[in-house]
């Protein structure tokens, strides 16, 4: 029911695509961390809209102002609240969406839940714009994790069915030229983790990461290690033999994705996330008019990304970093 | 950190493969529900070990005794605690596991977390046996959901790479004959849900279901609707056009899997779960001896399933039912 | 570990006495509620500083700007975030507090937890100023509860040992003239509740209200119904006989304070909250210098209330309203 | 809505006065703790019924059998579940309670919430018997805290208005002879805590302890340090000056009860809890018949304590210990 995540380190996200501001409160972040504003800006820039030819033409500065929690560049231990003004609002683009829901957007389900007063403008609270405050939190988490030698790194490994990264831009351009969109897959790796983080059953590392990652709009699936491919393997093939490397216990390969029984093994956590194609496309689509329950057509206006996958890469890193940091703080490894 | 799941309807699971008993406490289940013991037994029987030639030879009665929460066959509104005795214990099979972790089991990661005092016998609290109390809760949830016209139904759609169900037994037999194991994919469908259940971001239906389903051992991935295939589709192909059917809003197809923006659309929720092959195989495997940090070999003893996928089917239903019921109770739709 | 409260309706408070802004995010508040801004302003005014001769001379406009969650005066169902700028900051008043903790303030304990980077200015996140966003949330909750006929009303019943309300101003003036401070007791009543709200043990109405009320700085105790006086009564005196009034079950008196077994009886909830005297006094006090662990003296500068009790009255109402609304939403009575 | 307490260390209590068994699951307790069964028995004995002339004549062995979580006397890190059989059940004593609620018991409010299927026998899940599993958890928590030099100790300081402990037995005997009951006050002290445990606002030590303590039936109030008396004091009297003692920061007196800003100061935590007189008395009382909404009389049968205060002493210790241990585990001080 909530836009809140985390057990010990809790993020509470607010705002909508066309509200006055968006932001979040990060509660439980340790005191004494020196914020690297350059790293934060660089991280935000990777997610920001309007940065390349393939992205939406909507530009937002996406500069967070910290209302609290940081003093003289250092975290105080109190809740951290960055606020990002929505400067480039065109809510008139969205008039009447409530009555004619856009296919594969949240318009209809949000209407079913919240009724006519829901904020439909640009997806409202369901907008991908809400990943901006997620990324602020993620940048802080990544920065703190790096002090413990932990690195979080994601990349797009497939876009529109294409796995050759050099062709990604072309695939997206083709979709855009057709008034269409494409999805893709992001792979994320977390290295440097000690063994023993997490727990069995419902608060295992997979559960935690999955809960965070499905908070990013357009995610349709997540798999760890060999993932769905493991379903077609035999145990003798899938099992990862233990070995000693440099005096440490490791596995000879990493089909388990760094997690066994919900607990880290010390091998890198590896997971992949599937993103659907952007539901906003230039083509006319079938929909319904809720006011009189008749069928009708819609052509979605507004400025939209033909592909969110590249911009989603830092969002996946942010979600993973929050999940990992929260687990390590709960385990008392990072205090 | 915990074997507890749920916001309003909370399950807390206890026990290990070879402890005296296993069970759970289900807190928040409504009063006045007449327990269908036959349906409960039939549900448990689907998960129970030793029921067919393909399954482990370990047999457990798996009959829950309710210590509390049910009086004269009707739930009282107080916490429900079924207790299942572990009658068929052979912990001597597991001596020394702590020192030589079994590949792709939780032995090593649990040792890293809990140290030498962890319960390694048969996987301890990480054992698939812990899905028995999950299934008791699931049977109750499924029964209560059915009063609102909601049905939860799963099936194995792939085993060992084979999608023809008539060949599943053969695939498993072949693996068993080779002292090996196979994984598979379970597809689950929830029908009869109203539109408007769930919420955006971190408590969306995907997040809730994923968090529950990753509580089942051996799960490596989950995907909703078109899932990973969506990553290779264009928006014009993936988007689900709205239409009016029988006076209700529906979509012409269901690539969105019944969930948009974390909220149900009224179409069936559809998701698939990937299970890895059972890590316990009869073949000798490479491992390490933790006491002196040397490499060694292990041949896993004990009675094991060459494939857990068939027995996992009701577990997936149970996890989905708990996630859906909890969300509906939080939304005040089922009270 | 957190400034977050609530199960279904969650408030996350941020900011400090001298940060750029303070505020909160209220997650889970229903859509479709028309905000009564006049009532909100009037409620905030009751808590605001500098409104009478007895209060601190620091004045703050305390006008919340809603960054999200309200559109055209109506809640959208998305998280509601009011932001209150801190306009009247004099952080230089607080230089060096870290090293010489003020007696009975949170300086020392916060230093022990967060170290030198904690925000000590004006109490930082521990300041009574953080009750301003609590009151915004409370005003919304009170407004929504009133739609169901539920009223939340508190008053100061004792100040500085004096129970005659006409003498409260004099008691406070006397303390102020002496450079001293006084505490008091606030009694809160919630009427119009149906029977059956709440639950046994740890999520009972007392637990919920107590958890919220102890979030207000300076609270030292809480008692329900006859409270501590009940400890000196006999059962035959304390027990509240049931009766029928106007066709409803009531009790002839209300020593139980409207709650039995953690669940409402339909009688008014009545509880009292004890506030300690403001720790900031004009007199010189003994303290320590942490840098060299020696004893020293401190005279607390800054503008302080000689008594926070009158301004705390709406804060108690706010905390009670959030606790009651959250419980009713969880029970599916208010959706 | 739940009988679950704790953030990192979670207790989930089940059972009723006359169900087959009662117990709890303690999730998150560290591995490697050697259980002191003698200390556990002694602790349980302090709470057990039927141990002296002043107590109920119902005797229960109250011997917990651990279904899981302990192996060879040592905790494994997995959920710990003690089960206590209810051996001495006389549910016929309680026939018809549902229709004629006992004054100041939870019968009526439970009926309002759960309806006719609620378990009313002996108070059902609302019974003081549920403090037995709380005490098992408390004994484990106290044992683990003692390894860090932390001691939890409570005592009755007032019974039936009498503060001279030597007269407590007489006060109780007098009430019993009159078919009546008395309440009292329990004071609890936690020593040996480091400074810096807890946090501001809603997860402060007072909030945590209050939430736990109000889980004990019959509690009507809680106060910390000077408590309600603080309301009548001046700041110059109530403030606790800091000083250096044995090279440590202490306060010269402890009116703050060891907590400032929700965080421990290193001084002992001191709080008092008010217990109402047992609602079960031998005298005829006014009540109502719910079936036809008429007024009637009731004389409560069954075997009841004329005073629960002495038996409640270890329960208060248990609640305090769980609250403190959970906070210390969340803070990463005890892992």
pLDDT single digits (tens) A161-179: 999 999 999 999 999 999 9
Measured in degrees and rounded to the nearest 5, phi and psi for residue C275 equal: -110, 135
Pairing of strands B4-5, A248-251: unpaired
**pLDDT average, residue stretch D75-90:** 89
pLDDT class of D300 with cuts at 50, 70, 90: confident
Q: Cβ contacts (< 8 Å) between C65 and chain A: which residues?
A: 20
Looking at residue C300, its pLDDT comes to 86
Q: Are C311 and C46 in contact (CB under 8 A)?
A: yes
pLDDT at A193 over 70: yes
Residue in this structure with the two tokens 């914020």, named with its chain if needed:
A35
pLDDT at A133 over 60: yes
Closest partner CB to B8 (pick from C78, C200, C330): C330
Q: Are D48 and D158 in contact (CB under 8 A)?
A: no
Residue C21, CA distances (Å) to A11, C185, D86, D332 in order: 18, 30, 56, 30
Looking at residue D303, its pLDDT comes to 67
Looking at residue A301, its pLDDT comes to 77
Helix (H, G, I), strand (E, B) or coil at D114: helix
| Residue scoring higher pLDDT (C174 or A96) | C174
Q: Cβ contacts (< 8 Å) between A69 and chain C: which residues?
A: 14, 19
Looking at residue A120, its pLDDT comes to 77
pLDDT single digits (tens) A278-335: 999 999 999 999 999 999 999 987 767 899 999 999 999 999 999 999 999 999 999 9
Looking at residue D305, its pLDDT comes to 87
Q: Are B83 and B68 in contact (CB under 8 A)?
A: no
Looking at residue B115, its pLDDT comes to 92
Looking at residue A58, its pLDDT comes to 60
Looking at residue A305, its pLDDT comes to 87
Closest partner CB to D236 (pick from C204, C220, C283): C283
Mutating which of C196, C331, C332 best tests the B interface, going by the most B Cβ atoms within 10 A? C332
Looking at residue A123, its pLDDT comes to 76
Q: Cβ contacts (< 8 Å) between A71 and chain C: which residues?
A: 19, 117, 119
Residue in this structure with the two tokens 């999200």, named with its chain if needed:
C68
Closest partner CB to C8 (pick from B78, B330, B335): B330
pLDDT at D60 over 80: no
Looking at residue B221, its pLDDT comes to 98
A184 Cβ contact partners less than 8 Å away, ≥ 6 residues apart: A156, A157, A158, A159, A160, A274, A275, A307, A309, B231
pLDDT single digits (tens) C180-232: 999 999 999 999 999 999 999 999 999 999 999 999 999 999 999 999 999 99
pLDDT single digits (tens) A81-99: 999 999 876 555 555 458 9
Looking at residue B57, its pLDDT comes to 58
Looking at residue C259, its pLDDT comes to 98
Gyration radius from chain D CA atoms: 21
Say yes or no: C149 contacts chain B, CB-CB below 8 A: no
Contacts 24+ apart (CB under 8 A), A296-300: A296/A100, A298/A100, A298/A102, A298/A103, A300/A102
> Hey, are the CB atoms on B109 and A195 less than 8 Å from each other?
yes
Q: Determine the Cα angle at D271 with ends D269 and D272, to 5°.
A: 160
**pLDDT average, residue stretch B121-139:** 90
**Count of A–C CB contacts within 8 Å?**
174
**pLDDT average, residue stretch A240-251:** 97
Looking at residue A191, its pLDDT comes to 98
**pLDDT average, residue stretch A21-34:** 97
Separation CA A330–CA C197 (nearest Å): 33
Q: Determine the Cα angle at C178 with ends C176 and C184, to 5°.
A: 50
Residue A284, CA distances (Å) to A296, A305, B306, B335 in order: 10, 17, 51, 41
Separation CA B331–CA C10 (nearest Å): 14
Q: Are D109 and C195 in contact (CB under 8 A)?
A: yes
Query: Over the range C178-215, which residues count as b (16 or more CB within 10 Å of their CB) and which as e?
Result: bebbbbbbbbbbbeebbbbbbbbbbbbbbbbbbbbbbb
Looking at residue C304, its pLDDT comes to 77
Alpha helix stretches (DSSP H) within B218-270: 235-238
Separation CA A328–CA A208 (nearest Å): 12
Helix (H, G, I), strand (E, B) or coil at A44: helix
Looking at residue C301, its pLDDT comes to 77
**pLDDT average, residue stretch C48-59:** 66
- Chain A nearest CA to C45, separation (Å): 23
pLDDT, chain C, mean: 93
Separation CA D208–CA D319 (nearest Å): 10
Q: Cβ contacts (< 8 Å) between A23 and chain C: which residues?
A: 67, 81
> Hey, are the CB atoms on D78 and B119 less than 8 Å from each other?
yes
Any chains having at least 3 CB pairs less than 8 A from chain A are: B, C, D
pLDDT class of B303 with cuts at 50, 70, 90: low
> Hey, are the CB atoms on C260 and D108 less than 8 Å from each other?
yes
| B333 → chain C, closest CA residue | C332
Say yes or no: B326 contacts chain C, CB-CB below 8 A: no
C138 Cβ contact partners less than 8 Å away, ≥ 6 residues apart: C43, C314, C315, C317, C318, C319, C321, C322
Q: Is the ipTM of this complex over 0.90?
A: yes
**pLDDT average, residue stretch A191-199:** 97
pLDDT single digits (tens) B16-66: 988 999 999 999 999 999 999 999 999 999 998 766 666 665 666 688 999
- Chain A nearest CA to D78, separation (Å): 9
pLDDT at D147 over 90: yes
Percent of chain B with pLDDT over 90: 84
Looking at residue A57, its pLDDT comes to 58
pLDDT at D302 over 90: no
> Hey, are the CB atoms on B76 and D28 less than 8 Å from each other?
no
Q: Cβ contacts (< 8 Å) between B230 and chain A: which residues?
A: 183, 220-221, 274-277
Percent of chain A with pLDDT over 70: 92
Looking at residue A119, its pLDDT comes to 82
Any chains having at least 3 CB pairs less than 8 A from chain B are: A, C, D
Q: Residue D2's closest CA among C202, A212, C277?
A: C202
What is the dihedral angle through the alpha carbons of D141, D143, D147, D151, rounded to the nearest 10 degrees?
80
> Read out DSSP for A147-173?
TTT-EEEEEEEEETTB--GGGHHHHHH
pLDDT class of B124 with cuts at 50, 70, 90: confident
Least confident span in C75-89, C168-182, C187-201: C75-89
> Hey, are the CB atoms on B331 and C329 less than 8 Å from each other?
no
Closest partner CB to A4 (pick from C10, C32, C68): C10
Q: Are C140 and C29 in contact (CB under 8 A)?
A: yes
Burial group, residue B134, by CB count within 10 angstroms (0-12, 13-18, 19+): buried
Say yes or no: D183 contacts chain B, CB-CB below 8 A: no
pLDDT class of B206 with cuts at 50, 70, 90: very high
Say yes or no: D7 contacts chain A, CB-CB below 8 A: yes
Measured in degrees and rounded to the nearest 5, phi and psi for residue C212 equal: -75, -45
Instruction: Name the DSSP class of D182.
Output: B
Gyration radius from chain C CA atoms: 21
- Chain B nearest CA to A72, separation (Å): 32
Q: Residue D301's closest CA among D121, D80, D51, D119?
A: D121
| Residue scoring higher pLDDT (D97 or A213) | A213
Residues 291-310, chain B: which have Cβ within 8 Å of A? Answer: 293-295
Residues 96-135, chain D: which have Cβ within 8 Å of B? Answer: 110, 113-119, 124-125
**pLDDT average, residue stretch A104-130:** 89
Mutating which of B6, B25, B109 best tests the A interface, going by the most A Cβ atoms within 10 A? B109
pLDDT, chain B, mean: 93
Looking at residue D211, its pLDDT comes to 98
pLDDT at A127 over 80: yes
Q: Compute the residue count for chain C.
A: 335
pLDDT at B92 over 60: no
- Chain B nearest CA to D31, separation (Å): 6
Closest partner CB to C249 (pick from D108, D230, D274): D108
> Hey, are the CB atoms on D68 and B4 less than 8 Å from each other?
no
Residue B307, CA distances (Å) to B46, B53, B159, B186 in order: 14, 11, 8, 12
pLDDT at C97 over 70: no
**pLDDT average, residue stretch B159-165:** 98
> Hey, are the CB atoms on B200 and C78 less than 8 Å from each other?
yes
D201 Cβ contact partners less than 8 Å away, ≥ 6 residues apart: C2, C3, C5, C13, C125, C130, C215, D207, D262
Looking at residue D210, its pLDDT comes to 98
pLDDT at B90 over 90: no
Please state the pTM of the whole predicted model: 0.97
pLDDT class of B288 with cuts at 50, 70, 90: very high
Q: Cβ contacts (< 8 Å) between C120 and chain A: which residues?
A: none
Mutating which of A332, A333, A335 best tests the D interface, going by the most D Cβ atoms within 10 A? A332
Looking at residue B4, its pLDDT comes to 94
CA C197 vs. chain centroid, Å, equals 22
Looking at residue C59, its pLDDT comes to 62
Write out the two tokens for B211: 């968090």
pLDDT class of D292 with cuts at 50, 70, 90: very high
> Hey, are the CB atoms on D329 and A329 less than 8 Å from each other?
no
pLDDT at A115 over 80: yes
Looking at residue D55, its pLDDT comes to 62
Q: Cβ contacts (< 8 Å) between A5 and chain B: which residues?
A: 201-202
Any chains having at least 3 CB pairs less than 8 A from chain C are: A, B, D
Residues 11-30, chain D: which have Cβ within 8 Å of A? Answer: none
pLDDT at D62 over 90: no
Least confident span in B88-97, C6-15, D319-328: B88-97
């Amino acid at each position: 029911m909530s836009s809140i995540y985390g057990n010990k380190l809790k993020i509470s996200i607010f705002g909508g695509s066309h509200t006055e501001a968006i932001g979040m409160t990060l509660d439980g972040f340790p005191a004494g961390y020196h914020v690297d504003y350059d790293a934060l800006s660089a991280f935000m820039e990777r997610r920001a809209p309007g940065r390349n030819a393939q992205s939406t033409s909507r530009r937002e500065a996406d500069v967070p102002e910290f209302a609290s929690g940081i003093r003289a560049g250092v975290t105080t231990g109190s809740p951290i609240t960055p606020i990002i003004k929505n400067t480039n609002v065109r809510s008139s683009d969205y008039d009447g969406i409530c009555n004619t829901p856009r296919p594969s957007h949240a318009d209809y389900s949000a209407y079913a839940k919240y009724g006519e007063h829901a904020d439909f403008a640009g997806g409202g609270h369901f907008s991908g714009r809400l990943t901006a405050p997620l990324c602020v939190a993620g940048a802080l988490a990544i920065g703190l994790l790096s002090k413990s030698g932990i690195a979080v790194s994601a990349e797009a490994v497939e876009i529109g069915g294409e796995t050759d990264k050099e062709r990604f831009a072309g695939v997206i351009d083709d979709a855009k030229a057709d008034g269409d969109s494409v999805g893709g897959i992001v792979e994320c790796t977390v290295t440097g983790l000690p063994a023993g983080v997490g727990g069995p059953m419902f608060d295992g590392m997979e559960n935690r990461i999955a809960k965070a990652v499905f908070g990013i709009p357009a995610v349709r699936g997540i798999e760890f290690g060999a993932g769905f491919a493991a379903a077609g393997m035999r145990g003798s093939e899938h099992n990862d033999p233990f070995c000693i490397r440099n005096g440490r216990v490791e596995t000879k390969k990493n089909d388990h994705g760094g997690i066994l029984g919900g607990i880290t093994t010390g091998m890198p956590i590896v997971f992949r996330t599937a993103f659907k194609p952007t539901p906003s496309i230039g083509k006319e689509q079938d929909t319904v008019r809720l006011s009189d329950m008749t069928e009708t057509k819609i052509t979605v206006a507004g400025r939209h990304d033909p592909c969110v996958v590249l911009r989603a890469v830092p969002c996946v890193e942010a979600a993973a970093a929050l999940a990992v940091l929260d687990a390590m703080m709960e385990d008392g490894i990072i205090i």
